[in-house]
């Protein structure tokens, strides 16, 4: 049993930055399921969207975000993001973070959905790794945060005043113990890795969503899954993201005949919002019966491309491909747009339980995330959470006795269930992509629900007697929630496209999907 002032669950940028800001106010326990490099933040090639150019404006950034969000953004939340983003960038630079420069000024890139160059990068296409590593170094240097790698939060602990801690599984010692705190921040990332293919690490399987959902927190808009249009297509290999910024530099998408098909599909061509590009690639692949389209950079300066995208260039070379020529790409599940419903300070519907980053639904993303808004959202709302916690008279941690939520099986049985789980997650990933993918329809969604419910029945005996059985059950539960939410939204909007309901409801009829305690309801925007 351990007691902290605050617990942060998740070791990506959102969790690290929030923990860093909280660390001068009390003791922090930061839990990471694996290591700190296994996060979407660490792998992120895209940059941070923030207005730093005098010829750009925060209002323009707001308008681009609202446009991408397809009528479901909370305008106040978007305003907070776009107004506060430049300050967060300035603070990072003051702390010593080095962003890429051009002629002595911040180098700014253009990505899909943006009408102005405002994307900051670090190390070309290594922004996520460099900024995450930078915050990690700050934390380690100050030594105020207890980093617990290979520790998994399995259940929330609730009390009269809200969340008072988490149950934690210690993988090395095969034991479960309670961790108590005055407040808990979930920064566990999204759920896109329950799909196959996906650009996400295997850790992004909705564990934070499940933690909050089973304790009665409100979730919102989980049907909106963003599929990245251009993941490198290599048969029998995990998907590797080819950044939006590659198209921002002028790369073209070609069909199997060499035709630049996006020119006739959208006014912004390859720089159309991600949902449009992903869907058009999907249709093009269906028409050609090919599992990929071609991303062509043959017309661009190869030296500049190698310098601008060193990580992608090296990965392509290791796989016998040349980024400066042509590479095969296909869409892959990338980002969970919905999440735990939170207010402007990151507070969930459960007292003392906060959420930040991809696991949270702040209202910024709406129905479709604008490129490079995710990393900056981590900073803006991480700061807001830290400020809110600092200004709240939180109670001292309640360490009263409680009952362990499940038993641990033997190490041998846990290993067997882990192996079984890997197989079941592959099946689930295929089901999600086939039945709840880029283009959806009622019949396929109902079939997906039946398949997932059959798996849940199979897992029922293990959810209270095994660590891996419990996690596996919860991950299927998250998949079921996503699928049911997709079935109930009988329209097409943003990252949710229904072939049987291709029209978008009028602005007056727009609604959010609210998920709580086995019910899904609609809430007007």
Q: Who contacts 100 (Cβ-Cβ below 8 Å, separation ≥6)? A: 106, 107, 120, 121, 122, 123, 124
Q: Is 399 exposed, middle or buried (0-12, 13-18, 19+ CB in 10 A)?
A: middle
Q: Who contacts 410 (Cβ-Cβ below 8 Å, separation ≥6)? A: none
The pairing of strands 326-336 and 225-232 is: antiparallel
26: part of which helix (H) or strand (E)? none
Distance CA 422, CA 496 (A): 27
Distance CA 8, CA 144 (A): 13
Does 274 qualify as catalytic in the annotation?
Answer: yes
What does each C-alpha distance from 389 to 42, 99, 154 come to in angstroms?
Answer: 26, 30, 23
Distance CA 187, CA 360 (A): 8
Distance CA 67, CA 369 (A): 10
* Choice among 129, 164, 274, 369 that is catalytic: 274
Q: Who contacts 169 (Cβ-Cβ below 8 Å, separation ≥6)? A: 151, 152, 154, 175, 176, 467
Residue 99 and residue 107 in contact, taking contact as beta carbons nearer than 8 Å: yes
377 in the Ramachandran plot: left (φ > 0), alpha (ψ -120 to 50) or beta?
A: alpha
Active site members: 274
């Amino acid at each position: 049993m351990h007691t902290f002032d605050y617990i942060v669950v998740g070791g990506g940028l959102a969790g690290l930055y929030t923990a860093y800001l909280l660390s001068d106010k009390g003791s922090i326990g930061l839990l990471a399921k694996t290591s700190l490099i296994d996060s979407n933040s660490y792998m992120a090639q895209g940059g941070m969207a923030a207005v730093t150019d005098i010829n750009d404006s925060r209002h323009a950034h707001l308008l681009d975000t609202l446009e991408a969000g397809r009528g479901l953004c909370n305008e106040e939340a978007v305003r907070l993001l776009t107004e506060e983003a430049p300050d967060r960038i300035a603070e990072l630079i003051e702390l010593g973070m080095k962003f890429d420069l051009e002629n002595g000024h911040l180098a700014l890139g253009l990505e899909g959905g943006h009408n102005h160059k405002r994307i900051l990068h670090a190390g070309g296409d290594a922004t996520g790794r460099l900024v995450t590593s930078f915050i990690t170094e700050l934390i380690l240097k100050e030594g105020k945060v207890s980093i617990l790698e290979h520790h998994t939060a399995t259940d929330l602990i609730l009390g009269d005043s809200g969340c008072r801690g988490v149950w934690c599984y210690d993988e090395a010692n095969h034991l479960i113990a309670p961790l108590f705190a005055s407040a808990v921040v979930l920064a566990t990332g999204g759920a896109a890795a329950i799909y196959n293919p996906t650009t996400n690490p295997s850790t992004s399987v909705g564990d934070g969503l499940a933690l909050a959902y089973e304790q009665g927190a409100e979730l919102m808009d989980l049907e909106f899954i963003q599929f990245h249009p251009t993941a490198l297509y290599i048969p029998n290999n995990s998907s590797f993201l080819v950044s939006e910024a590659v198209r921002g530099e002028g790369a073209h998408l070609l069909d199997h005949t060499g035709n630049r098909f996006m020119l006739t599909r959208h006014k912004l061509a390859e720089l159309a919002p991600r949902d449009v590009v992903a869907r058009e690639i999907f249709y093009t692949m269906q028409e050609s019966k090919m599992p990929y389209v071609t991303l062509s950079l043959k017309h661009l300066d190869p030296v500049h491309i190698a310098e601008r995208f060193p990580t992608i260039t090296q990965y392509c070379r290791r796989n016998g491909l040349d980024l400066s020529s042509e590479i095969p790409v296909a869409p892959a599940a990338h980002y969970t747009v919905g999440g735990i419903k939170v207010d402007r300070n990151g507070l969930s519907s459960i007292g003392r339980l906060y959420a930040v980053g991809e696991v949270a639904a702040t209202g910024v993303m709406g129905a479709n995330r604008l490129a490079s808004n995710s990393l900056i959202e981590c900073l803006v709302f991480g700061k807001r959470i830290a400020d809110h916690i600092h200004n709240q008279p939180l109670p001292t941690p309640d360490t009263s006795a409680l009952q362990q939520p499940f038993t641990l099986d033997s190490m041998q049985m846990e290993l067997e269930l882990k192996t079984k789980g890997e197989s079941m997650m592959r099946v689930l990933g295929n089901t999600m992509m086939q039945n709840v993918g880029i283009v959806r329809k009622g019949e396929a969604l109902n079939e997906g629900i039946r398949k997932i419910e059959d798996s849940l029945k199979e897992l029922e005996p293990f959810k209270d007697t095994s660590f891996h059985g419990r996690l596996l059950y919860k991950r299927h539960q998250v998949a079921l929630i996503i699928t049911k939410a997709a079935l109930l939204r009988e329209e097409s909007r943003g990252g949710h496209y229904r072939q049987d309901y291709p029209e978008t409801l009028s602005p007056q009829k727009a609604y959010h999907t609210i998920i709580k305690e086995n019910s899904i309801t609609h809430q007007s925007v």
